[in-house]
Structure 1
Amino acid sequence: MANLPLSLVVITYNEAHTIARCLDSVPFAAEKIVVDSGSTDDTVAIAIAHGARVVHQDWLGFGPQRNFATGQASHDWLLALDADEFLSPELAAELSQALPGIMASDAPAAWLRRRTIYMGRPMRWYRPAVGEKMARLWHRDRARWTDARVHESLRFEGSAPTLRAPFDHVNNPSLAEKQLKVLRYAELKCRDWLDKNKPVRMWQTPFVFALAFIKDYIFRLAFLDGWRGYAIAQTAASYAVYKRMRYYEMRNNPLSRDTAATALHRHGLDR
């Protein structure tokens, strides 16, 4: 595939086991940038060996880190992937054909569809894991990432085309790693709530698990994916409850903010 004036940007921390696959899945990108927040494994060396320019940036939060990465790019059009994501061959072929037209247009961004690999194989029915639309391709002057510490999104005005073929996301190789991510994401989300002085509504918590589980397991069709569907719905519902309990603790016991930060840092979960 011919190189296109596109910058692939990936933010990393200890992603030695996935970064090569991610970078190699975008052979048409004229530039590949890895913004690393201090990896202690071979992430940086592997990224360089696979054609990336590596820039160090201490962890700012997901949204600010992505905006920092945007500023490192040489091209106006950018594609963002996480290290545990990669383009399918079908999407790589589709993008190589569609990108010249998208880049020549006034579109601010483009929607891609993400397919989730969970417990070793793709989910077949669970709606957020089958063709989930995500804005990951954008023009640097027409779109910007929100500054949220976690669950950031790309904001833009106007219509954007949607690509048909999916890119793939390996949603944690194991449940143990998923639970560690839940702790990390909950801490970041609660910090955002603290900044906004969000009210504590613990009275909602007994209902949150049931409602979140029913939404994912029934209405989002997780039950059709068997026990894997049950596991993903249960994990999502537990996360919804845990972050509310953790926020309540942060507000009522401010000392817990520092002790938790120390514990998360000790296990490399603070970025």
Structure 2
Amino acid sequence: MPNLPFSLVVIAHNEGLNIARCLDSVPLAADKLVVDSGSTDDTIAVAQAHGARVVHQDWLGFGPQRNFASTQAAHDWILVLDADEFLSPELAAQLEKELPALMASAKAGAWLRRRTWLMGAPMRWYRPMVGERMARLYHRGRARWTDARVHESLRFDGETVEFKAPFNHVDNPSLVHKQLKVLRYSELKALDWRDKRRPVYMWLTPLVYLSSFIKDYLLRLAFLDGWRGFIIAQTAASYAIYKRMRYYEMQHNPPSIDAAHRKLAHHELEH
């Protein structure tokens, strides 16, 4: 494939097992950039061996980290992937054919579709994991990531297009990884709520759990994916209430913020 004047940008931390697959799936990018936040495994060496530049940046939170990464790209047009994501051959071929015209236009960017694999197989029915619509390709002068610590989003300033072929996401390699991610993401979300002085209504917690489970298991068709669907719906519902419980604890026991930060940081250093 020819090199096209855009940058593949990946933010990473201890992604030595995934980063090569991600980088190799985008052979048409003239620039590959990995912004590393202090990996203790072989992420940096693997990334460099697979053609990427590596820039270090201490962790800022997802939104600020992505905005920093945008400033380090060699080109204005940027494709963002996470380390556990990779282009399908179909999407790579579609980008090779259609991306030059997009980059020559005044459009702000493009929406992509993400297909997720869970427990070793693709999800077939659960809507957020089958063709999820995501903003991942953009001109850095016409789009910006929100400053949220977690669940950041890309805001376009202009017209967009959409590519139909999917890119792939291999979800957490085990439920242990998933639960650890829930802990980290909950901490970041609760801190965002604290900064915004969001009220917390603990009496709603049982209703939040029930409505979240019903939404994912029934309305989003997780039940059609069998026990994997049940597990993902239960995990989503648990996350919905845990971050609220953690925020409640932050309000009533502020020293728990530093204690949790030290514990999570210690875990990251160990692994």
Give the aligned partner of residue 218 of structure 1. 218
State the distance in 2 between where 1:48 and 1:55 align.
11
CA distance in structure 1 between the partners assigned to 2:2 and 2:15 by the alignment: 27
Deviations 1:56-99 (A, max 9, x none): 00000000000000000111100000000000111011111110
- Contact 2:142–2:158 at 8 Å: present in 1 too? no
Match of 2:173, SS?
Answer: coil
Q: Are residues 1:21 and 2:21 paired? A: yes
Question: For residues 212-249 of structure 1, what are the alpha-carbon distances to aligned partners after superposition, in whole Å with 9 as ceiling and x for unaligned?
Answer: 00000000000000000000000000000100000000
Aligned to 2:227: 227
Deviation at 1:268, TM superposition (A): 1.1
Q: Which amino acid aligns with 2:101?
A: G
Structure 1 segments of 4 or more deviating over 2 A? none
Q: Gaps (5+ residues) in structure 2?
A: none
TM-score, normalised with respect to structure 2: 0.98
CA distance in structure 1 between the aligned counterparts of 2:9 and 2:160, rounded to whole angstroms = 20
Q: Which residue of 2 aligns with 1:81?
A: 81
Letter in 2 for 1:46: V
User: Which residues of structure 1 form unaligned runs of 5+?
Assistant: none
> What corresponds to 2:35 in structure 1?
35
* Offset of residue 158 of structure 1: 3.2
The RMSD of aligned alpha carbons is 0.8
CA separation in 1, counterparts of 2:164 and 2:38? 35
Q: Matches of 2:176 and 2:229 in 1, distance apart?
A: 17
Please state whether the residue corresponding to 1:268 is helix, strand or coil. helix
Once the two structures are superposed, the pairs formed by residues 1-271 of structure 1 within 5 Å of their partners are 1-268=1-268
Q: TM-score, normalised by structure 1?
A: 0.98
Q: Which whole-Å deviations, capped at 9, do the CAs of 1:152-177 have from their partners, x for residues lacking one?
A: 00001333111011000011011110
Query: Which whole-Å CA distance do the structure 1 matches of 2:80 and 2:185 have between them?
Result: 19
- Alpha-carbon separation, structure 2, partners of 1:74 and 1:37: 19
After superposition, the C-alpha distances for 1:124-168 in whole angstroms (9 at most, x for unaligned) are 000000000000000010000000000000001333111011000
